[in-house]
């Protein structure tokens, strides 16, 4: 067993886990944060994307032990005071989700990206999503949602 | 899918990592883990121990070193892509890093991990070969070696790196105003290159062209370089790109197609490099 | 409906979204139970082998292992197969665990249950199967050949089914027509790739013999009706729950071995058992789609009149039939005339078993296969007679019709206006300008050539009239059901028998109910996907949830309104005929202040203090709708692509789609269905194929090898629509879930061929990979030299 202490969505969480415990299963099964999904075995689909110290990573390709002492943000952490993050709201308003399975990963990938590039072009948004697969939406409304959220967020901070 | 069980040790010093590796021949180094962990999840790799070196202090940097740039082995692709120093002094490295995998991979994957994995479809090794870069290793009892890139990549997943050695630094020459290009051909943008070509416009020692995924390791396209040195234009020179290659045939492309594709990419890369 | 339409026809944001956006969804892997065990399957690395022995002793002794079971230990019945399409069909028996032979890589020989996910996987690896490996065959044509390895010895052949439509019209045109175009087109296997793989959680009350299966399925009702037999649980003791399901696309329109095994091991251990599919397992054990080869003949005139269409197909069934397998090509067998009006029609197919994953319904199911070959063939015909492919289509599209019209395949098409969609698509894309640009690029000999690919299509959906299903030898009906309840607090609860998993039906249905009853949409709650809550239903597939499901809802709402009218007349002391209904209230004609709203009436009918003689308390009604016909959407898609003639790379520059799915309830959701369907069609056209090596191993066995495209590979789509109401149902709705996947593959591949037609290229294969495109260019050049 290995001891892991991580700040998840602002809260200090710790547990003893098998070394082979992937971060995503630590979140889902040890901490009960099931919003982060698993869609593949090969780091391809991006459903498991979370923020590690503010940057998008695939939590199925990290060991829980690797993130000991670091900050993780999951989809559950995007809601503050019962208000959805502008990205969540934009996905809702623009029909950026259908079955919803890829959605948490898409939103976390987008959150990391908008942090790096707050005023992207459509092409830049598409490139930022190259590591996230969706089978329902054809990506069109996801891209629209992220551009919309970018506008809302930069407008809000201006 | 869950990996088979293993032990995990996180180290803060290179020497500690080397001790653990020396003690356990089945142990493996964990850097970004983006090549290793997928193999472990599919149970195609079953190390007895992972030695997590990512917390070793000061192996993540990009700094000037005379007429070269020194890059710490734990520098992430994301940091390479965003390094102003590289963008100015050796832009081909920053550019190639910006196209590896996807953003999430670039936030974790490291240049040292890419090189130590020695996948011939990987981008940075080809760029290092084209640049004539060097790789610095540390072994037991302070032993250190400096290996030229084209000697370091010996074969398929076979770097010149002993089990009890760790890659610590990668050095590349400043390319200054020299034109460059890295073109890769892939089906999806997230995928490994079917074929890639790194090209540096003719400088003091002529043009330099190296190929991704055209053999069991990144290789120089010496035929192309010779043809250019002899005064050939990019189109003529690029016809020699398949010389000495032995590309794979797989679900994505046959060897024969790759050998045709590499001519087109070599020509386009040279044209881009020479116009930059 | 004599009601103001506040919601129907408008974009209403989805009621489904909040839980999905915030990480609170109920996907099966998010559910856990006290004492729950994990199940893992033992799938030996063979695709064709005779089982000699299975040694489970090492696995049984491993940490955390509670049980290891082989076929012999569990003694389960065969998995259901419900579509024996011909009288003489040969049906392979398909057990949840292989007994004597392994016939494809998904065949499991044992199952392990253990305390943790990792322990179950570790122990599964420790089960050792001793086998005699046999030669394998994954190519259906090779499987048909003399001397091919036989999968099911008891059947004596791999050719297990042959179905012929029987033809229509004067078959002599295939000999006598001035122009005969013959082509052969192959469509490889596709892997559906719902981003949530399958999974299930079984638990029960052993003392009562009652069991519940929570499963990532599209079809809880069909699972309940068909699975009990295999696991020895009476239907009445079995409850199936489809929680939030992360996409299906047909891959979860099935009844799978793992569902039977989870129930069986939950029974055997007396503990809850969960199984979550790995992506690798998903690629070998969950059904594939397509996998067909067509020999096609078009008979026509020199001036562009299509006289006859004939298709002879070989369909790869895979190692067994899953729920519907041979029914899929048969379903396509009714739409090979497309939106055209040929004088002669022929379709037949031969089904062949191979050592590969069973094929079954994948988004479109039979109709994409048909539309692809038809639309490729029409383009080939246009090239042959030197006519613009748009002109050929214009000449052959059936003129607008608003009443059902017999098609040559023998069914009645409900309504259609194909010229309107096609003309609009041509206008949006700027067809003439594109042809000019194409000519200029050709004249200049540009490296990047421009291609314009057309597809005009119809589809047959809204499955399905039960009498037709019966005639086609399908085991069940095609009706669906809805119960509407207006609670005494004025809330509306819909219990509906289809089971959406991303399509937004909860919102669509709520729009219809809110308008019909004059209540805010927030007051409508939709319950579905649980056989204990909505026991009557036939589930979600074949674009049926609105045309069949919502029609049942509509009929139940009409019943509610009728019942409310009786009570309103009683309370208002007026004759029923003197009441008017609008905006959710009954008023007495000429006395608008005398009114009772539906919600008023729900309260008084629940209290039942003063109700008419014979009036049953409560405002609740159930309706079952069996459609009199299929619905028949249609439309036109145009793909503009650029082909790099040096590398074979294809880039889609524009994609225009004009579709007609009848009356639209929620335009936002309709567009979303099209975006997704078109993207899947583009994927099929350019990226995706399941590839097997010569030993029968799946090479494209992970998401890094099977190329599901990302946002960087899919273009922005330009959509428009027309609305020609269906005559099949009172709502006028048709269905839009499959249209994109039906229309896009031929539009895209036609664009690639069109870009290279001047070089002499006539086919590039599917998917049109860079290497295939490049190869086609080389062959054309060689041919010209």
Does residue C299 register a pLDDT over 70? yes
**0.90 surpassed by pTM:** yes
**Which residue, C202, C224, C322, is CA-closest to C537?**
C224
How far is C281 from C526, CA to CA, in rounded Å? 33
- For position B106, what pLDDT does the model report? 97
CA atoms within 13 A on the CB side of C1: 25
User: What does the block give as tokens for B56?
Assistant: 């070793």
User: What does the block give as tokens for C746?
Assistant: 């031929």
Portion 685-744 of C in contact with B at CB < 8 A:
687, 691, 699-700, 702, 704-705, 707, 709-710, 712-713
Task: Give me the residue from C18, C117, C714 closest to A139, CB to CB.
Answer: C714
User: Residue C306, by phi and psi: left (phi above 0), alpha (psi -120 to 50) or beta?
Assistant: beta
Average the pLDDT over C446-450 and give the result: 98
Task: Give me the residue from A49, A68, A127 closest to B104, CB to CB.
Answer: A49
CB contact under 8 A, A92 and C18: yes
Range C285-314 burial, b when 16+ CB lie within 10 A, else e: bbbbbbbbbbebbbbbeeebbbbbbbbbbb
Full DSSP string of B181-221: EEEEE-SSTTSPPSEEEEEEEEETTEEEEEEESSSSS-EE-
C359-384 confidence digits (pLDDT tens) = 999 999 999 999 999 999 999 999 99
B204 pLDDT tier (thresholds 50, 70, 90): confident
Mutation to test the C interface, candidates B2, B5, B184, B239, most C Cβ within 10 Å: B2
How far is C5 from C8, CA to CA, in rounded Å? 6
Calculate how close chain B gets to C688, using CA atoms only, in Å.
Answer: 10
Judge whether C565 and C579 are in contact, CB under 8 Å.
yes
Pairing assessment for the beta strands C480-486 and C448-458 based on DSSP bridges: unpaired
B52-83 confidence digits (pLDDT tens) = 999 998 999 999 999 999 999 999 999 999 99
How far is C450 from C758, CA to CA, in rounded Å? 11
Average pLDDT, chain C: 97
Q: Which residue has the tokens 């294809």?
A: C650
Collect all residues from B whose CB is shorter than 8 A from any CB in C.
Answer: 1-2, 4-5, 38, 42-43, 185, 187-191, 250-254, 257, 260-261, 264-265
Nearest CA in chain C to A34: C30
**Which residue, C498, C490, C497, is CA-closest to C520?**
C490
Could you give the 3-state DSSP secondary structure of residue A121? coil
A42 pLDDT tier (thresholds 50, 70, 90): very high
How far is C255 from C244, CA to CA, in rounded Å? 18
How far is C681 from C363, CA to CA, in rounded Å? 9
Q: What is the separation, in whole angstroms, between the first and last Cα of chain C?
A: 68
Task: Supply the DSSP symbol for C252.
Answer: T
Task: Give me the residue from C279, C700, C710 closest to B188, CB to CB.
Answer: C710
Average the pLDDT over B138-155 and give the result: 95
C200-217 confidence digits (pLDDT tens) = 999 999 999 999 999 999
Full DSSP string of C107-123: --SEEEEESSHHHHHHH
Does residue A150 register a pLDDT over 70? yes
- For position A158, what pLDDT does the model report? 47
Calculate how close chain A gets to B1, using CA atoms only, in Å.
Answer: 6
How far is B14 from B17, CA to CA, in rounded Å? 5
CB contact under 8 A, C20 and A143: no
Does residue A157 register a pLDDT over 80? no
Average the pLDDT over C443-471 and give the result: 97
C688-715 confidence digits (pLDDT tens) = 999 999 999 999 999 999 999 999 999 9
How far is C518 from C505, CA to CA, in rounded Å? 19
- 3-class secondary structure per residue, C517-537: HCCCHHHEEEEECECCCCCCC
Pairing assessment for the beta strands C168-169 and C344-353 based on DSSP bridges: antiparallel
Judge whether C646 and C755 are in contact, CB under 8 Å.
no
Average the pLDDT over C395-400 and give the result: 98
Question: Counting runs of H as helices and runs of E as strands, what totals does chain A give?
Answer: 5, 5
B32 pLDDT tier (thresholds 50, 70, 90): confident
Judge whether C218 and C499 are in contact, CB under 8 Å.
yes
- C635 - beta bridge partners? C457, C659
- For position C36, what pLDDT does the model report? 98
Does residue C260 register a pLDDT over 80? yes
CB contact under 8 A, C646 and B264: yes
A156 pLDDT tier (thresholds 50, 70, 90): low
A67-120 confidence digits (pLDDT tens) = 999 999 999 999 999 999 999 999 999 999 999 999 999 999 999 999 999 999
In this structure, which long-range contacts are made by residues C155-158, counting pairs with CB atoms below 8 Å and at least 24 apart in sequence?
A: C155/C90, C155/C92, C157/C90, C158/C352, C158/C353, C158/C354
Average the pLDDT over C224-232 and give the result: 94
Q: Where are the alpha helices (DSSP H) in chain B?
A: 14-23, 36-41, 77-81, 84-89, 91-98, 103-106, 111-117, 123-131, 149-152, 222-229, 234-238, 255-274
- For position B15, what pLDDT does the model report? 94
Does residue C478 register a pLDDT over 70? yes
C129-170 confidence digits (pLDDT tens) = 999 999 999 999 999 999 999 999 999 999 999 999 999 999
- C245 - beta bridge partners? none
ipTM of the complex model: 0.97
- For position C784, what pLDDT does the model report? 47
Judge whether C559 and C549 are in contact, CB under 8 Å.
no
User: What does the block give as tokens for C492?
Assistant: 């509306």
Nearest CA in chain C to B250: C699
How far is B62 from B70, CA to CA, in rounded Å? 6
- For position A151, what pLDDT does the model report? 96
How far is C746 from C768, CA to CA, in rounded Å? 11
Portion 320-379 of C in contact with A at CB < 8 A:
none
Percent residues over pLDDT 70 in chain C: 99
Extract the runs of DSSP E, i.e. beta strands, from C175-320: 179-190, 199-205, 210-215, 238-241, 273-276, 289-300, 306-318
C595-608 confidence digits (pLDDT tens) = 999 999 999 999 99
How far is C748 from C752, CA to CA, in rounded Å? 7
Nearest CA in chain A to C116: A29
CB contact under 8 A, A18 and B103: no
Average the pLDDT over A151-158 and give the result: 77
């Amino acid at each position: 067993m290995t001891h892991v202490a991580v700040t998840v969505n602002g809260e200090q969480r710790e547990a003893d886990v098998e070394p082979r415990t992937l971060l995503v299963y630590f979140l889902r099964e040890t901490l009960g944060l099931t919003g982060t999904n698993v869609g593949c075995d090969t780091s391809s689909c991006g459903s498991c994307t979370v923020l590690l110290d503010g940057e998008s990573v695939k939590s199925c390709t990290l060991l829980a032990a690797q993130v000991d002492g670091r900050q993780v943000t999951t989809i559950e952490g995007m809601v503050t005071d019962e208000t959805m993050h502008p990205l969540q709201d934009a996905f809702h308003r623009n029909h950026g989700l259908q079955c919803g399975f890829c959605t948490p990963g898409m939103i976390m990938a987008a959150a990391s990206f908008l942090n790096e590039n707050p005023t992207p072009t459509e092409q830049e948004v598409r490139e930022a999503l190259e590591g996230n697969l969706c089978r329902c939406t054809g990506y069109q409304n996801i891209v629209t949602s992220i551009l919309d959220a970018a506008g809302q967020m930069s407008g809000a901070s201006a | 899918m869950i990996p088979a069980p293993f032990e995990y040790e996180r180290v803060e010093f290179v020497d500690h990592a080397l001790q653990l590796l020396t003690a356990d021949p089945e142990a493996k180094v964990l850097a970004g883990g983006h090549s290793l962990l997928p193999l472990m999840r599919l149970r195609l790799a079953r190390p007895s121990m992972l030695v997590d070196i990512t917390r070793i202090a000061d192996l993540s940097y990009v700094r000037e070193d005379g007429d070269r740039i020194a890059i710490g082995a734990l520098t992430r692709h994301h940091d390479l892509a965003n390094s102003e120093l590289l963008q100015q002094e050796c832009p081909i490295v920053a550019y190639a890093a910006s196209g590896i995998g996807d953003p999430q991979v670039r936030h974790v994957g490291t240049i040292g991990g890419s090189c130590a994995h020695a996948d011939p479809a990987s981008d940075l090794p080809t760029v290092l070969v084209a640049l004539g870069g060097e790789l610095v290793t540390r072994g037991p009892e302070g032993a250190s070696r400096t290996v030229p890139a084209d000697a370091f990549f010996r074969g398929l997943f076979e770097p010149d790196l002993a089990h009890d050695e760790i890659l610590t630094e990668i050095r590349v020459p400043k390319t200054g105003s020299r034109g460059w290009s890295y073109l890769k051909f892939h089906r999806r943008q997230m995928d490994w290159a079917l074929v890639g070509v790194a090209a540096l416009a003719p400088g003091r020692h002529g043009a330099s062209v190296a190929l991704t995924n055209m053999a069991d390791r990144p290789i120089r396209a010496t035929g192309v370089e010779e043809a250019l040195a002899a005064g050939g234009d990019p189109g003529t020179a690029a016809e020699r790109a398949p010389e000495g290659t032995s590309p794979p045939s797989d679900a994505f492309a046959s060897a024969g197609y790759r050998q045709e594709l590499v001519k087109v990419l070599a020509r386009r890369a040279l044209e881009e490099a020479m116009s930059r | 409906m004599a009601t103001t339409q506040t919601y129907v026809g408008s974009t209403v944001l989805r009621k489904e979204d909040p839980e999905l956006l915030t990480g609170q969804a109920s996907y099966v892997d998010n559910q856990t139970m006290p004492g729950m065990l994990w199940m893992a399957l033992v799938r030996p690395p063979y695709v064709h082998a005779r089982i000699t022995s299975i040694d489970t002793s090492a696995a049984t002794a491993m940490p955390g292992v509670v049980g290891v079971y082989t076929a012999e230990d569990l003694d389960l019945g065969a998995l259901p197969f419900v579509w024996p399409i011909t009288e003489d069909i040969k049906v392979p028996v398909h057990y949840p665990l292989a007994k004597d032979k392994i016939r494809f890589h998904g065949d499991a020989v044992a199952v392990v249950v253990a305390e943790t996910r990792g322990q179950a996987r570790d122990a599964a690896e420790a089960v050792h199967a001793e086998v005699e490996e046999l030669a394998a065959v994954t190519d259906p044509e090779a499987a048909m050949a003399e001397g091919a390895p036989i999968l099911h010895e008891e059947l004596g052949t791999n050719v297990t089914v042959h179905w012929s439509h029987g033809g229509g019209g004067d078959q002599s045109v295939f000999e006598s027509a001035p122009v005969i175009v013959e082509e052969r087109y192959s469509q490889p296997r596709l892997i559906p790739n719902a981003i949530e793989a399958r999974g299930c959680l079984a638990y029960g009350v052993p003392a009562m013999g009652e069991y519940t299966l929570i499963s990532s399925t599209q079809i809880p009702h069909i699972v309940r009706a068909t699975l009990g037999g295999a696991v020895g649980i009476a239907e009445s003791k079995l409850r199936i729950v489809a929680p939030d399901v992360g996409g299906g696309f047909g891959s979860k329109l099935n009844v799978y071995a793992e569902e039977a095994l989870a129930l069986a091991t939950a029974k055997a251990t007396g503990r809850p058992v969960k199984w979550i599919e790995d992506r690798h397992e998903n690629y070998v054990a969950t059904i594939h789609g397509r996998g067909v080869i067509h020999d096609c003949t078009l008979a026509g005139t020199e001036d562009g009149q299509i006289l006859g269409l004939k298709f002879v197909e070989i369909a790869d069934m895979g190692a067994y039939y899953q729920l519907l397998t041979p029914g899929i090509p048969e379903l396509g067998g009714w739409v090979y005339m497309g939106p055209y009006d040929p004088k002669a029609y022929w379709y037949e197919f031969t089904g062949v078993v191979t050592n590969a994953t069973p094929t079954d319904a994948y988004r479109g199911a039979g109709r994409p296969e048909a539309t692809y070959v038809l639309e490729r063939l029409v383009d080939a015909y246009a090239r042959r007679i030197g006519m613009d492919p748009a002109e050929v289509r214009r000449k052959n599209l059936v003129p607008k019709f608003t009443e059902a019209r017999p098609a040559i395949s023998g069914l009645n098409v409900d309504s259609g206006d194909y010229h309107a969609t096609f003309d609009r698509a041509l206008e949006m894309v700027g067809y003439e300008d594109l042809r000019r640009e194409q000519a200029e690029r050709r004249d200049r000999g540009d490296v990047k050539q421009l291609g314009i690919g057309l597809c005009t299509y119809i589809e047959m959906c809204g499955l399905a009239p039960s009498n037709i299903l019966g005639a086609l030898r399908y085991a069940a009906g095609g009706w669906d059901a809805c119960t509407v309840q207006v609670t005494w607090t004025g809330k509306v609860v819909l219990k509906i028998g289809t089971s959406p998993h991303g399509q937004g039906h909860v919102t669509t249905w709520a729009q219809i109910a809110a308008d019909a009853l004059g209540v805010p949409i927030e007051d409508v709650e939709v319950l579905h996907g649980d056989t204990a809550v909505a026991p009557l239903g036939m589930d979600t597939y074949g674009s049926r949830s609105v045309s069949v499901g919502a029609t049942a809802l509509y009929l139940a709402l009409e019943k509610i309104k009728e019942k409310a009218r009786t009570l309103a007349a009683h309370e208002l002391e007026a004759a029923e005929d003197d009441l008017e209904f609008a905006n959710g209230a009954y008023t007495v004609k000429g006395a608008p202040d005398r009114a009772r709203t539906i919600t008023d009436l729900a309260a008084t009918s629940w209290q039942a203090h003063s109700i008419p003689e014979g009036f049953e308390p409560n405002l609740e009604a159930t309706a079952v709708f069996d459609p009199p016909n299929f619905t028949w959407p249609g439309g036109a898609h145009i793909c503009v692509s650029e082909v790099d003639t040096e590398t074979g790379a294809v880039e889609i520059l524009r994609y225009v789609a004009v579709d007609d799915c009848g009356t639209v309830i929620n335009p936002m959701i309709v567009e979303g269905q099209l975006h997704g369907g078109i993207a899947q069609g583009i994927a099929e056209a350019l990226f995706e194929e399941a590839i097997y090596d010569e030993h029968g191993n799946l090479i494209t066995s992970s998401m890094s090898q099977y190329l599901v495209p990302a946002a960087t590979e899919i273009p922005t789509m330009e959509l428009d629509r027309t609305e020609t109401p269906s005559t099949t149902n009172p709502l006028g709705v048709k269905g839009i879930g499959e249209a994109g996947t039906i229309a896009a593959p031929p539009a895209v591949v036609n664009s690639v061929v069109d870009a290279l037609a001047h070089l002499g290229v006539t086919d590039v294969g599917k998917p049109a990979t860079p290497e295939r495109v490049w190869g086609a260019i080389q062959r054309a050049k060689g041919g010209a030299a």
